Amino acid sequence: MLAAAAAGYRAIAPDCRGYGLSSQPPEHEGVSWFDHVADVLTVLDALSVPMAFVVAKDFGVIPAYHFALRHPERTRGVASWASPLAPALGPSTPCLKASTSCDGRYVRALHTQLLVC
C-alpha cells in the first residue's frame, strides 16, 4: 500500500464483510460473492473512483474476478496472488480446468498453462 501510494497511485484497502476491522454482518452465512462485489462498487462510488486496477489476495480473489466480469467498464485490470484462479468462476477452458484441479499439481499446471493460453 505504501509503495503504491509513493508511486503516485491511490491505494484503497477495504475489509470484506465480517473480516479485518469490519463489523460482522447479522446473517454472515447469507453473504454471497456478489454482495462482496457490490461492496467494492459501493466503495469506488463513495470515493468517486471511475475505474480501478483491482489487486487481491486469498479470499478477495473471487470477488475481484467477479467484479471485473460484472463491471468491465470500471476495471482497468486485476492482479491476484496467494490464490490460483478462482474455480467459482467456472472452469470453462482447458487452461482454467488445469489451473484449478485439486490433484496437488495446480501450481505447476497454472504456471505451465498460463504460458500457453
User: Does residue 114 sit in the same domain as residue 74?
Assistant: no
| Residues 75 and 90 occupy one common structural domain | no
Residues 96 and 113 occupy one common structural domain? yes
Alpha carbons within 13 angstroms on the beta-carbon side of residue 75 total 18
* 65-116 tens-digit pLDDT: 889 989 999 999 988 887 766 454 444 444 444 444 444 444 443 433 333 3
Q: Residue 28 belongs to what domain range?
A: 2-83
Between CA 62 and CA 60 the distance in angstroms is 6
Rounded CA-CA distance 50/58 in Å is: 25
The C-alpha cell at 42 is: 459501493
Q: In this structure, are 66 and 91 located in the same domain?
A: no
Q: Are residues 66 and 117 in the same domain?
A: no
Torsion of CA 39, 45, 50, 53, to 10 degrees: -30
Same domain, 25 and 56: yes
Whether residue 65 sits in one domain with residue 22: yes
Most confident of 23-27, 39-43, 53-57: 39-43
- State pTM to two decimals: 0.67
